[in-house]
A and B are shown apart, each in its own frame.
Chain A
């Protein structure tokens, strides 16, 4: 039994994955993964292609069923919930898909209004106001009357974000939000997701390959390797991590290795961080001694 919900403040874990396993035929995709997605933070799931991160996200939102283990939302066991219970919980979930998944035949405004039309009892005027608020938040007020086919990939992602947040969800899932986007647009999307997470105190889970997202937005990072959780930490820990597999994945090129060293030097200039790092290193060596 977990008592993490009794912990104060920021340690209140919103989504917990407990010993989850998933296989397709003989192929084991998720091998006993336990992880937590923390409240009010941008949680990243990173890993090479085929490491199981998309399957993990699909299991978390219920698009796939786990073979063993369970997933808890705010202490509520999602895996054992019946159809009605899941439907109710899903009203608190927003998701941005890799392909944006906008409805082709609807305008941008109608796409964002769709969840409101389905679940909100407000008047048309109130709904339109909320839609314009969301579109304004993602800087797309002028594109309200356009069809998805008439806007760019980056704009589609922003419409997808507006649609995902229109019902004020507690949980936001983003499946590779930067795929197919140029670096500048990727930055805009990352920044937007980060701001929305902190503004609304959502639990955001992002599945990504983008190293820029990892370094800029990773409040909490889970690194997956061959279906197992290999490493867990944040974007500062990652710079000093000694995990060889993680380093091989994150800092794959010469350029990135040099960038890492420069970032390390920059971070050591920060006194607070130096102190914190020392404490962590001491705690680590104490644990090692105790184990010996």
Chain B
């Protein structure tokens, strides 16, 4: 079991190392990178918009439900919503959802290419398949996932305000005042650091499982499921690790 883990980890590192060679044709790599940006970024935008707005709305309602004391100003609700969304919900929850959306897409796409010998066909042409197929996916994820997290943060806070105002819990002015109270820019830095770490996990783990598929259609499904499960677990572990590392000293 231990040896299998080290063997897999070694293969994973070799895969990453194998991506970094001189591109055969930079224009083709750029084209593939742009395609992946559209697939990963624009393709996931819809789900990110929906979950962020509802996530913000629910956070506002639940925070208001728990803060029933008259001694706590209502603007505190906005403050709690802001920090919850920026620190945790926007990066982690969004990335857990993206692990399912993008991760399964990457793993099944590469798995299908492997099973139908398309990867072999590209290899035979003298093209570095790791560089041409994996690197643009990983680079596009590293660019688009943090962008999606930023969008999720803004939409979550806006969704929280809309839900609060519509249900009469908090006024527009109180919400805006709360957002500005004790704002720490470091929290945004922390959220972005997490989003880069998660983007790396979301793109590399499914790439590894998809690229190394052996067998047929069943194995593609299994690889896709396994990659999403491993990605989610690693996101949670990384979330805890980064929080302990970057927030532990207050």
Query: Chain A interface (Cβ within 8 Å of chain B)?
Result: 61-63, 83, 86-91, 93-95, 97-99, 101-104, 114-115, 117-119, 173
Asked whether B116 lies within 8 Å of A90 as measured between CB atoms, the reply is no
Bound-complex Cα distance A90 to B28 (A): 18
- 4 further contact pairs, Cβ within 8 A, besides A97-B120, A117-B28: A61-B124, A63-B124, A90-B125, A173-B124
For the complex of A and B, the 7 pairs showing the least CB-CB separation, nearest first, are A90-B126, A101-B121, A101-B117, A87-B126, A97-B117, A95-B124, A91-B126
Bound-complex Cα distance A104 to B115 (A): 13
Q: Name which residue of chain A comes closest to B124, CB basis.
A: A95
Minimum CB–CB distance for B30 against chain A, Å: 12
Known: A87-B128, A90-B126. A98 touches B24 (CB 8 A): no
Query: Chain B interface (Cβ within 8 Å of chain A)?
Result: 21, 24-25, 28, 116-118, 120-121, 123-128
Bound-complex Cα distance A217 to B126 (A): 28
Bound-complex Cα distance A62 to B28 (A): 24
Q: Name which residue of chain B comes closest to A173, CB basis.
A: B124
Known: A83-B21, A97-B117, A99-B117. A118 touches B124 (CB 8 A): no
Find chain A residues with CB under 8 A from B126 CB.
86-91, 93, 119
Find chain A residues with CB under 8 A from B24 CB.
87, 118-119
Pairs A–B under 8 Å by Cβ, sample size 12 = A61-B124, A63-B124, A83-B21, A83-B128, A86-B126, A88-B126, A91-B125, A99-B116, A103-B118, A115-B125, A118-B24, A118-B28
Bound-complex Cα distance A68 to B88 (A): 55
Bound-complex Cα distance A99 to B117 (A): 7
Asked whether B124 lies within 8 Å of A119 as measured between CB atoms, the reply is no
Bound-complex Cα distance A114 to B25 (A): 11
Find chain A residues with CB under 8 A from B125 CB.
90-91, 114-115, 118-119
Find chain A residues with CB under 8 A from B25 CB.
117-119
Find chain A residues with CB under 8 A from B28 CB.
117-118
Minimum CB–CB distance for A65 against chain B, Å: 13
Find chain B residues with CB under 8 A from A101 CB.
116-118, 120-121
Contact of B124 among A90, A102, A103, A117 (CB under 8 A): A90
Find chain B residues with CB under 8 A from A114 CB.
125
Find chain A residues with CB under 8 A from B127 CB.
87, 118
Find chain A residues with CB under 8 A from B117 CB.
97-99, 101
Bound-complex Cα distance A181 to B25 (A): 36
Minimum CB–CB distance for A7 against chain B, Å: 29
Bound-complex Cα distance A173 to B123 (A): 14
